[in-house]
Amino acid sequence: MSNNVIPIGCDHAGFELKLKIMDHLQKKGFEIKDFGTYSADSIDYPDYGHPVAEMVEANNGMLGIVICGSGNGINMTVNKHQGIRSALCWTVEIAQLAREHNDANIIALPARFISEELAIQMVDVFLTTAFEGGRHANRVAKIPC
């Protein structure tokens, strides 16, 4: 699986933002694996977060995106997967540090609390920032239970 593939999933509150992010990433040449939801009708976020986490877990080096109203529920869902380190981000700096220091492999976005412009900036930084390793690698290795 190519690192050019980005799995994405959201709940109803994140649906519109997901469409904007997908459009942005496709214009940049990324292939999107859209796990839904496919409308603004009320749904349960775990049904759309788990498939993103499973795909990221199965493809070393892949990064994913999840979105819900607060970002919390879907972030908690994907972080139940042993190989996932999802970061709930609300600033560009947090998105950058999540990759540099925590080797996060999924970014969780709070659709009701951020602008479309900020979401796209955070996704761009998240996808282009490398893990620093070094002193952070030992810490990250201690995360799994």
Q: Catalytic site residues?
A: 68, 101
Which residues contact residue 71 at a Cβ distance below 8 angstroms, ignoring those fewer than 6 apart? 88, 89, 90, 108, 109, 110, 111, 113
Query: What sections of 1-144 are H helices per DSSP?
Result: 15-27, 46-58, 72-78, 92-100, 116-128, 135-141
* Side chain identity at residue 13, one-letter code: A
